[in-house]
Amino acid sequence: MNLSDAFTRRKEIQEEISLWTNRLECSGINKKIYLLDAEKKEIALKEATYREYTIEECLQALHNLMEEDKNLAIRISKTNARVEVELEDFDGNIRKVSIAELLILKESIIPNMQKIVQCKPVADLGKEVKKLQGYIEYESIHPIVKQVDDVKEGVKITKQVIECYTKTVVEDFGITRRQQYDEQDKINHFARRVKKALNEANKAELVS
H or E segment and range at residue 59: helix 55-82
pLDDT at 70: 97
- Range of weakest confidence among 49-63, 124-138, 179-193: 124-138
Average pLDDT, the chain: 93
φ, ψ of residue 86 to 5 degrees: the values are -80, 140
Checking if the pLDDT of 99 tops 80, the result is: yes
Query: pLDDT value at position 17?
Result: 97
What SS3 class is residue 37?
coil
Contacts of 96 (CB under 8 A, 6+ apart): 84, 85, 86, 87
What is the predicted pLDDT for the residue at 148? Answer: 86
**8-41 pLDDT per residue, tens:** 999 999 999 999 999 999 999 999 999 999 999 9
